[in-house]
Structure 1
Amino acid sequence: MYTLGINAVYHDSAATLVRDGVVVAAAEDERFTHIKHAKRPVPFSTWQLPFDAIDYCLREAGITLADVDHVAYSYDPALLPIMPAMPNKRATIALPLEPGPSASSWDALFLSFIVNARGQLIDGSPLHMAKRFRSPPDGHRFAWHYVEHHLAHEASAFLAAPPGDTAVLTMDGRGEGVTTSLGAFVSGKYSRIKQVELPHSLGLLYEAVTSWLGFLHSSDEYKVMALAAFGRPAYAHVFREIVRYRGDGSYVVDEPRLVERFGPPRERGTPLDARHYDVASSLQTVLEETVLQLAHWLHARTGLPRLCMAGGVALNCVMNARVRDDGPFEEVWVQPAAGDAGTALGAALWIDWCERNRQGDRTRRWTMNHAYLGPSYTESEIEALLRWCKVPFRRLTDLAGETADLLAAGKIIGWHQGRTEFGPRALGSRSILASPIVPDMQARLNEIKDREDFRPVAPVVMEEHASDWFVGAGKAPFMLFVFRMRPERAERVPAVRHVDGTARVQTINRQQHPLYYDLLAAFYARTAVPVLVNTSFNTRGEPMVNSPRDALESFWTSPLDALVIGPFLVTKQGATA
């Protein structure tokens, strides 16, 4: 049984394909279209389905759309107030000829695109993909399912987490009307316990402050998290007036009125000052406080020792660390594609789970031990492209060792190996790698990627050495938690220490990504440091690279020193490598 999951409503459009409980493929559309987040979250973009990501998933399984049994779309229009009470082909909704500036004036167009998504999937594919989407003579046989947005987030956590009973907490900007959901997955059944509805949203508040700080909302919230470490929670009392926990697993978020409270918004590109740092710090503090209160309530209600989380807010690794360290749960697991891309995963897993349950199969067959679910490219495909582009390259005889030599010499490497990561974090398949020993490496990387100076870079560490370098670090394969760096180690790896003494750590073992692990082992053998700098392989405004061509374009339009792609090393004229 094949189940295709689709996220297409707001942003981070994505697709996932599940076969009998096992994820075959998952990818975000941005990796193919080169449009970051695939599209902006505006109502007139809802018609855009992630055809490239869907095409990849079908191709990876060696099937066409005609072979798919179920399609799960991670949004349920029946939950929208504007949806006709008796929806059918004769039902009508009114759309103004010129919708006004308010979001609600676009609701009819927004709804129409979602209701007609099935037809768009069947008939709207681009010409070069049409063969894989073509209808058979008797028409497509798949059943179409609308899955509530937050249920898709929830399922992406409890059906991907390590097996066992778990509490579930999801938080984002918004779904059909819900912004936060608390529940429990026990003995194979999911029970929802509490939800918070619009307009009360921690995610939308964080977006509003992101915009006030001069960054792009629904995109740059991670910059606000990084900025917070430079400030003091001087305005925490103000945000505690805006966000009030109600004591029952819910909260209230009042209109933030940021200009009234903090003055004019920052213009993009203008200097940041202490007020900006302090606003970011205060927001982050109150977010952490509120989510901790939710976690304590959920633990008291369920009595479960484990928590899994998803939703865009769960990409806040500083908050996640607070829940891990100061919360009541023994284990906290976060789904790595926690944002809206992950709802494609959750919708597919949920429909697959329900259908197999209906047939008497209640077994969990898959756990998300890694996020390498996207496209890979063969050695022959890579070599053919390198020759066609007439770039200087050579085959490495000792890939891990020779790359480690370059890194130990202070070179910055583009690294393109294996299947693309699913989710926003580069985890060693599409990464820029560098030595953490070089003091100015963070500044060099920010210059290469044209990033703001305050942005930290993250470390990857061999799993068995993690706790020797970072306090309390165990298994953290998805770079979704921060850990405090051990003071006695900090001077040895200055490039990965953030201003507050923490680092957003990725651990790696050989089972997860053998070549990546071998590279770290080789670097460790040369330097006695089992740590590398790992940042995403892209430049400003671009998604992470996906194909070998993407990697070459990014490499040749940036001052990277070398590119290790498959078994080949690409260098630039005059470079010593």
Structure 2
Amino acid sequence: MKNKHYYLGLNAYSHDSSACLMDEQGNIIAAAEEERFRQIKHYSLFPKNAIKFCLKEAGILPKNLKGIAVGWNPKELFFDRVIKEYMFQFRPPYYVFAKTIKKLLRLLGIRKVFERNIGKLPTNLKIKFFSHHKAHAASAFYASGFNDAAFLTIDARGEYKSSLWGKVDYYSGIQVKGSICHPNSLGCIWGAISEYCGFVPGWQRAGVTMGLAALGKPKYMKEFKKMIKFFPEKGKDWLSIDKDYFKIADCKGQVKEKFEKLIGALSAKSGKYLQVHCDVAATWQKYTEEIILGKLNNIHKKTRKTKLVMAGGVCLNSVTNGFILEKTPFKEVFIQPASHDAGVAIGAAYLLQQESNKGVKPEPMKNASLGPEYSLREIEDVLKKYELEFSKDKAIHKTVAKLLHKGEVVMWFQGRLEFGPRALGSRSILASAVDKNMQEKLNNIKQREQFRPFAITILETEAKKWLVRGTKSPYMLLVDSIKPKFKSIVPVAQHVDGSVRVHTVNEESDDIYYSLLEEYSKISGIPLFINTSLNIKGLPIVNNSQQAIHAFLESEDVKYLAIGEFLVTKKGG
């Protein structure tokens, strides 16, 4: 193994810091987000623990690395952001300027930090820096299994750009055809609208605003089209935001007084949204769909590609994603499951692997379970330490299926940790979708807003029978609708507007999770259940057994934890 060439990709000194280890064939050996180890959401410094895990998983030392790549480019950060933007376009607040300089210096000093925290690197090893949005694009294309594709990346901002589009193949690599530059940014506007609706910090709460949108009507399209201009036919600068209405600094956005006057309502106080805020959220969701789908139609026209790949935080908008195959000419779509900034560690590793092994086509990404796994001995030792009541059960999937059918909520901890923001059956809280009171119960367990919907996991073979579109969605990145004849059977599976975020599984997805759902389907006659992330409010998804047990003990309404082959039962459960 140590004779192989290994490439380490990093996202560092940006939110969602992460690491990814890849071999010379482009196979992902391991990938992890630093936040999961530290239990600090969106951790943004050096991903020390994630790197150590990746090296340990491969059984190698720093000296065995062939190369390191970072999904940020300090040159672009300096010339495009500091010089072009800050000096000649607009003067940002001092704290934004200082933050950028600090990030720049940290990136330039990353080798010293690596050697101080991880170990000595080979003298001839160079650390390469890649453009943030190119790393996003690479993370999607090289994981897709496609030979060529069109691409679109969208987030709050990279070094300077907030979106990139073009085409990509193995011969010519990433060919950029157009972009948007900061402060024109869909991601920043999502942050601004989220704060307007009372969800702070806005850049972290876009998913909540998406949920709120279902409670409103898109009444303000005229006003939004006045403030945000969309030019689908333009290659560059195809989005223009009127700065009189929005304050955009760094990757954050806020609305200005002029926005409130145009809408006719003040920003909501925390959690105190009104119908007008629901309508604003609905309008921005609708306009987001119009913008992205409109641009995708133009990209297809310009590139003539039948396949599409996407990445970047805004590409986690599952409502928009659900319409792509329906409302654009693309025949196949792959969206990187780690579309947020953690995913650029994968993209940077791919770019370095391709530079060194040009034309070598990686195997398609088969699942997102790329993180740590814990042995039964490790789990049992922790359970004994906490003096918990537990039993060993080699058919734990059958036991849990019965518990779910009885209406119990079960915390589920199995196998390797997921890489990315979605719980896909490794670190999940599971429940039946039959009991109409389950949504309130789960939202109380998660300590979150009552209007927020839950995703489902459904057998892939049953998706077309139960869902309107029935499209495969192995990474929970698409929204669909339950067919009318099944709506009364699974009331918790759908949001107030009838939509449902979907995670499909098959035999190749995850053996034990698939077996659990298959068993539940046999018992109940229903091939789906509710799946939400295993975490405590304000903390990331759990990584290890100790964190899972802590979450279990903190959640009074959950009686069962299925962890490895052990079923933990609370006293009285």
Correspondence for 1:93: none
Q: Does 1:248 align with 2:234?
A: yes
Which of 108, 126, 132 matches 1:143? 126
Q: Distance in 2 between matches of 1:25 and 1:472?
A: 33
Q: 1:237 is matched with which residue: 222, 234, 239? A: 222
Matched, 1:221 2:223: no
Name the aligned partner's letter for residue 32 of structure 1. Answer: F
Task: In structure 2, give the amino acid aligned to 1:27.
Answer: A
Distance 1:393 1:70, change over 3 A: same
Structure 1 unaligned runs (5+)? 40-47, 86-98, 126-132
Give the structure 1 partner of residue 137 of structure 2.
154
User: Given the alignment, which residue of 182, 187, 191 partners 2:175?
Assistant: 191
TM-score (norm 2): 0.91
Partner of 2:568: 570
Q: Secondary structure at the match of 1:159?
A: helix
Matched, 1:336 2:319: no
Aligned to 1:448: 445
In structure 1, the partner of 2:34 is 29
Tell me: CA distance 1:186–1:100, structure 2 relative to 1, closer, same or farther (3 Å). Answer: closer
The residue number in structure 2 matching 1:129 is none
Compute the displacement of 1:524 (Å).
0.7
Instruction: Say whether the 8 Å CA contact 1:69–1:141 is kept in structure 2.
Output: no
Distance 2:439 2:428 in 1: 15
Q: Give, in angstroms, the shift of residue 106 of structure 1.
A: 3.8
**Contact kept? 2:153, 2:311, Cα under 8 Å:** yes
Identity of aligned residues (%): 37
C-alpha deviation, 1:251, in angstroms = 1.8
Farther off after superposition, 346-355 or 327-336:
327-336
**3-state SS of the aligned residue for 1:27?**
strand
Q: Deviations over 1:197-220 (max 9, x none)?
A: 112111111111112222222211
Partner of 1:200: 184
How far apart are residue 81 of structure 1 and its match?
Answer: 3.8
- 1:380-407 CA distance string (max 9 Å, x none): 1111211222111001142111111110
AA partner of residue 220 (structure 2):
Y
Higher alpha-carbon deviation: 226-235 or 187-196: 187-196
Aligned twin of 1:9: 13
Q: Measured at CA, do residues 288 and 100 of structure 1 come closer, stay the same or move farther in structure 2, by a change above 3 Å?
A: closer
Counterpart residue number, 2:86: none
Aligned partners of 2:6 and 2:535: how far apart in 1? 33
Contact 1:245 1:293 in 2 (8 A): no
- The 2-side partners of 1:307 and 1:397 are apart by 42
Q: How does 1:325-404 map to 2 (within 5 A)?
A: 325-357=326-358, 362-404=359-401
For 1:505, what is the secondary structure of its paired residue? strand
Contact 2:212/2:452, CA 8 A, preserved across alignment = yes
What is the correspondence of 1:118-137 to structure 2 with a 5 Å cutoff?
118-123=111-116, 125=117, 133-135=118-120
Please report the TM-score for the alignment, with normalisation by the length of structure 1: 0.91
Counterpart amino acid of residue 79 in structure 1: E
Once the two structures are overlaid, the 10-residue window that deviates more, 18-27 or 241-250, is 241-250
| Cα distance in 1, alignment partners of residues 99 and 564 from structure 2 | 47
Aligned pairs for 1:490-569 within 5 A = 490-559=487-556, 560-569=558-567
> Does 1:319 find its partner at 2:307?
no
Contact 1:9 1:75 (C-alpha < 8 Å) held by counterparts: no
Structure 2: which 5+ runs fail to align? 83-91, 247-254
> CA–CA distance in 1 between the matches of 2:120 and 2:213?
52
Opposite residue 68 of structure 2, the aligned amino acid is V
1:56 pairs, out of 42, 53, 58, with 53
**Alpha-carbon distance in 1 for matches of 2:437, 2:145:** 39
1:93-119 deviation per Cα after TM superposition (whole angstroms, max 9, x unaligned): xxxxxx964412443323211211121
Local SS of the residue matching 2:202: coil
**Count of equivalent residues:** 539
* 1:394-428 deviations in Å (ceiling 9; x for gaps): 01142111111110011000000000000000000
SS in 2 for 1:69: strand
Provide the C-alpha distance between the structure 1 equivalents of 2:338 and 2:48, rounded to a whole number of angstroms. 19
Q: Deviations over 1:472-509 (max 9, x none)?
A: 21321000000111000111111111111110000001
User: Which residue of the partner structure matches residue 67 of structure 2?
Assistant: 70
SS in 2 for 1:17: strand
Deviations 1:506-533 (A, max 9, x none): 0001111010011011111111001010
Secondary structure of the structure 1 residue equivalent to 2:500? strand
Q: Give the letter for the 1:164 counterpart.
A: N
C-alpha contact 2:146 2:307 (8 A) present in aligned 1: no
Partner of 2:144, secondary structure, is: coil
Q: Distance in 1 between matches of 2:293 and 2:394?
A: 51
Distance 1:81 1:340 in 2: 20
| Match of residue 408 from structure 2 | 411
**Residue 110 of structure 1 pairs with residue 103 of structure 2:** yes
Matched to 2:411, the amino acid is G
Distance 1:297 1:387 in 2: 59
Give 1:326 deviation, angstroms: 1.2
Superposition deviation, residue 152 in structure 1: 0.4
Q: For 1:481-496, what aligned pairs fall within 5 Å after superposition? A: 481-496=478-493
Question: What's the secondary structure of 1:336's corresponding residue?
Answer: coil
CA 1:465/1:83 → structure 2, altered by over 3 Å: closer, same or farther? closer
Q: Which amino acid in 1 is paired with 2:269? A: E
Q: In the alignment, is the contact (CA less than 8 A) between 1:72 and 1:146 conserved in 2?
A: yes
1:19 to 7, 20, 23: 23
CA drift at 1:222: 0.5
Of 393, 404, 418, the match for 1:421: 418
Number of the residue aligned with 2:310: 309
In 2, Cα distance between the equivalents of 1:106 and 1:347?
23
Q: Which moved more, 1:196-205 or 1:340-349?
A: 196-205
